[in-house]
Amino acid sequence: MEIKTPKDSRTIVTDLVLPSETNPIGNMFGGELLARMDRAASITARRHSRRITVTVSVNHVAFNKMIPLGSVVTIEAQVSRAFKSSMEIFMDVWIEDRESGVRSKANEGIYTFVAVDEMGTPVPVPELQPETPLEKERFVAALRRRQLSLVLAGKMKANDATELKILFDS
Ligand SMILES: CC(C)(COP(=O)(O)OP(=O)(O)OC[C@H]1O[C@@H](n2cnc3c(N)ncnc32)[C@H](O)[C@@H]1OP(=O)(O)O)[C@@H](O)C(=O)NCCC(=O)NCCS
């Protein structure tokens, strides 16, 4: 099976925050960001697998900074690890200062997608070969996140989550 790198399927989406996408105190509504991340991640998963892909899990989202009305928001989505039919997609969310143009990290999210055929049955995806130190770090941690997600979903016994257990034992 083909091997791909994160940059082969990297997706960068930049868009504004409009009034209808804000909460009562004028900052971006969390659900709007979740939907934008889902779209960016979906494109990345599709580019990596060249198949139909569906979201199977939102593993982690951190809303660290408020995103004010009118902000320019950039979502950078990359495959952090591919398993058999599933792919973990890691997203960094950036906002840019209006005057200086300097970007700062606002939030991040980690979703899992599964490649499926026309009947919705999972199909294999290409392996991922991480290249940079950050990609390698996220690749290693993705196995623990997969185990945590499967345990929480009741699809794996906690005792079988060996890499996850090491984290708690160390
Ligand atoms: C995604 C779906 C096809 C998986 O079907 P399934 O019967 O659970 O298939 P499997 O058990 O073989 O799981 C498929 C893969 O997903 C992974 N997976 C399943 N649930 C997961 C979870 N909660 N977290 C992380 N990975 C998960 C499995 O580990 C497996 O990965 P692998 O093939 O890389 O080893 C099925 O659950 C589905 O259609 N869900 C709805 C998807 C959807 O509509 N999303 C949009 C929501 S509106």
Q: How far is the CA of 116 from the centre of ligand 1 (A)?
A: 9
Is residue 136 included in any domain, yes or no? no
pLDDT reported for residue 98: 86
User: How many domains does the chain fold into?
Assistant: 1
- Give the position, in ligand 1's atom list, of the atom nearest the Cα of 124: 33
120 falls within a domain: yes
Range of the domain at 20: 3-129
Atom of ligand 1 nearest to the CA of 125: 34
Ligand 1 first shell, C-beta below 6 A: 54-57, 83-86, 112, 114, 116, 120, 122, 146, 149-150, 153, 155
- Whole-number pLDDT of residue 167: 81
For a pLDDT cut of 90, what percent of the chain falls above it?
90
CATH number of the domain bearing residue 11:
3.10.129.10
Is residue 15 included in any domain, yes or no?
A: yes
Atom of ligand 1 nearest to the CA of 156: 29
168, part of any domain: no
Residues in the chain: 170
User: Residues 77, 108, 71, 20: what is their CA dihedral angle, to the nearest 10 degrees?
Assistant: 90
Examine residue 139 and state whether it is found in any structural domain, yes or no: no
**Domain annotation covers residue 167:** no
Shortest CA distance to 68 belongs to which of 108, 35, 98, 39? 98
pTM: 0.95
Q: Does residue 89 sit within a domain?
A: yes
Q: Is residue 10 part of a domain?
A: yes
